[in-house]
Amino acid sequence: EDEEIVAEIMRRRFFPALITHKAWEGFHFAGHEIRITEATDCYGAVVWPSALVLCYFLETNSKQYNLVDKNVIEIGAGTGLVSIVACLLGALVTATDLPELLGNLHHNVLQNTKLKCKHQPCVKELSWGIDLEKNFPKSSCHFDYILAADVVYHHPFLDELLQTFDHLCKNDTVILWAMKFRLEKENQFVGRFETLFDLEVISDFPSLNITLYKAMRKGRVKA
């Protein structure tokens, strides 16, 4: 079953028939053809399989996780594929990443959502752990969903990543997080994450070494 679903997910990707001066990949999600411009010299400007897993989940579970008119933020948006799919599914999306990635991110988001979506998406700088209250004040920022695909990899900012999840997440916020397991240090982040959030596995893909989690804040008042 895992391999069948993974094969279906990977069939959503296509490549240009002719090689041009600008590298791009194509994807089919939410009833649209999505073209993503990439830059192979940067981790954040490449589409990784975790993003495809999360996009496929959002599309195929749109009734249970209805994004229409919901406030959604993606952290570590990279090329913007997940944000684009969320926007095409009706969400009011804020796509965030480091300042050096915003140009390509903005290009992809605008190119693939203009005149196609109910809500115009926003692209915004977010350096994990830095100026969180200034740029995303708790009093006025409320997100129904936080989306994250492959944000845990070999980097020194795991403390800041956890701080960012904590800052952005309200009691009723749902986190959908696709993680590829690589190195033990990064894998241990899951245990640290569980000190603040209730974590549930909602999909698992052993052939890709990717797990899709749903999380909500611990100690929240349940309806």
The CATH number that applies at residue 25 is 3.40.50.150
Residue 125 confidence (pLDDT):
97
In this structure, is residue 37 part of a structural domain?
Answer: yes
In this structure, is residue 110 part of a structural domain?
Answer: yes
Residue 65 confidence (pLDDT):
97
Residue 128 confidence (pLDDT):
95
Question: Residue 204 belongs to what H/E stretch?
Answer: strand 197-205
State which residues form the domain around 165. Answer: 1-217
How far apart, in whole angstroms, are the C-alpha atoms of residue 193 and residue 196? 6
How far apart, in whole angstroms, are the C-alpha atoms of residue 69 and residue 66? 9
In this structure, is residue 96 part of a structural domain?
Answer: yes
How far apart, in whole angstroms, are the C-alpha atoms of residue 108 and residue 85? 12
Cβ partners under 8 Å of residue 200, min gap 6: 213, 214, 215
Predicted confidence pLDDT, tens digits, the chain (223 residues): 789 999 999 999 998 876 666 778 999 999 999 999 976 555 556 788 999 999 999 999 999 999 999 999 999 999 999 999 999 999 999 999 999 999 999 999 999 999 999 999 999 999 999 999 999 999 999 999 999 999 987 667 899 999 999 999 999 999 999 999 887 777 788 999 999 999 999 999 999 999 999 999 998 765 4
What are the residue ranges of helices labelled H in 2-146? 2-10, 49-60, 81-88, 102-113, 132-135
